[in-house]
Structure 1
């Protein structure tokens, strides 16, 4: 009997020690977790979105972009800028591009379009409420070089000339689900992934307020900027 009691006591004592050890480990885990950024927190850093004009050799802010001199003519679209972007932060995110607080002078009209990664945007008229959705990508692999092209043009029936166009491009990263499809290319570095459309969620956050486009549903964290593009003069 004495032996039996001793064994029971040992078992109980071992159980207490195990529980105490587990509790200590759990508390340590909580402490470590509290010192780390929660998912999405680092996407508030504006440097998450980086630009390159030399094929990825140099990365920096939007000042890296070289804007091309163009004079759009009716029925055609001219390439305004071509550059690469990347998401350097750990938070999974996809790219979205809008025509922001655009202005067209003198009663003229204009059209814009944007391509990003493997996604080709549709031609959109610069009319109505600013905040016109242009294109979005699936989730970008971290640090993967992703090409962007921005176009400005005039409708085929536009007869005015000499007016100015400033679409105020807005480009930003919007938080994605970690397992969302990855933009398949083109570009180098990172993984490949599926060519499916990916998440349709996103928001302009504090860059805009409400949006006129039904293509975007405000959700999640975003980081981005209004690109300081010089105004364009319509064909003369």
Structure 2
């Protein structure tokens, strides 16, 4: 099937990519606001063992995979009968589709993500690439091994789309929202008035715990809720404290092994 230049399928494929770079770019502009950082700039430079140019290249590779899989998926599930898809969906229907998609994506990513930590070979050769960013930042959110990106994000996104039954048009909004949420979780800033922090306990500080050495066995949930961590005992509580020199510090609260 050939796609129209501005079809919902094309927009659903490319708009989330644009949103990723635009939204993370905003955080880059805010990145020097030391009063909101969870780690100092010195810590970021010292602890992260990969260059920012390498991170950009790695993210672009993963997004290229996502584009190919997304277009292939839309081709497979699109209506070839020549009939126009029904226009409009009720708010309730879309809300239910969002809820189902969020649950499916959270479930898929929790168990795949956790297994990548349990399996030493997978962690060493694949998932450890993402953890080279000990101090996360916004545009490093999708810095993964290509296989991890394909399995965790691309396949997870495809499953959430298919299982929820959402249309390509609804998918535009869902995947843009998921992209914004993922970038926000990795931004490394604790900004006042952040609405995502108000509505989601799976947030910047929560995910920062997972990126630290003490938290690699905890806080696997992403990108929306912390449900699976709480249910399966992998939730690590924490507190957020102000640093004297400015900014914030995430302090883990010890849990039983």
Query: TM (normalized to structure 2)?
Result: 0.26
Which has the greater radius of gyration?
Answer: 1
Normalized per residue, which structure has more strand? Answer: 1
RCO comparison, higher one (Cα < 8 Å, 6+): 2
